[in-house]
């Protein structure tokens, strides 16, 4: 078996193992092994192959990996649960005032109260959720 083929098998094995780890280290080492395979094709000297592997792997780990991690691990903040309703629009089902009422938000019926004390919002009025307080949506009429 030629040294280039051995380097190629090592590269494929490292890259496949990356699927289990997910930290991008094995992927960078697999890339270094690909460079080692290329060096083995052209030089035939195992010492040069190992040096090329070491230099390429180090460069990939220090330069490419941080950029890739920032790219892949940076996700926008996704609001979950009741917080996701803030800013959504709904329709008043029963009169909403400072003490209570009901609104329909995203197909679900929620307890609601108006954001301003003394404000009365009549059924059928479109409202915007300002905040969620426990299991109650605090709403304001749409402008």
What span, in angstroms and rounded, lies between the C-alpha atoms of 45 and 34? 15
Quick: pLDDT tens for 75-109. Answer: 777 878 778 889 899 999 999 998 889 999 988 89
Mean pLDDT in residue range 41-58: 94
| Number of neighbouring beta carbons within 10 Å of residue 141 | 16
Per the CB < 8 A criterion, the answer to whether 76 and 83 are in contact is: no
pLDDT at 74: 78
Band of the pLDDT at 131, cuts 50, 70, 90? very high
């Amino acid at each position: 078996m030629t040294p280039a083929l051995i380097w190629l098998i090592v590269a494929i094995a490292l890259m496949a193992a990356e699927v289990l780890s997910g930290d991008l280290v094995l992927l960078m080492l697999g890339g270094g092994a690909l460079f080692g395979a290329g060096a083995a094709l052209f030089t035939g000297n195992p010492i040069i192959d190992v040096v090329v592997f070491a230099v390429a792997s180090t460069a990939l780990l220090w330069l490419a990996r941080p950029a890739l991690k920032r790219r892949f691990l940076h996700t926008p903040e996704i609001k979950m649960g009741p917080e996701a309703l803030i800013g959504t629009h709904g329709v008043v089902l029963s009169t909403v005032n400072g003490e209570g009422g009901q609104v329909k938000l995203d197909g679900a019926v929620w307890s609601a109260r108006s954001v301003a004390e003394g404000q009365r919002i009549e059924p059928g009025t479109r409202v915007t959720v300002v905040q969620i307080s426990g299991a109650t949506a605090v709403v304001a009429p749409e402008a």
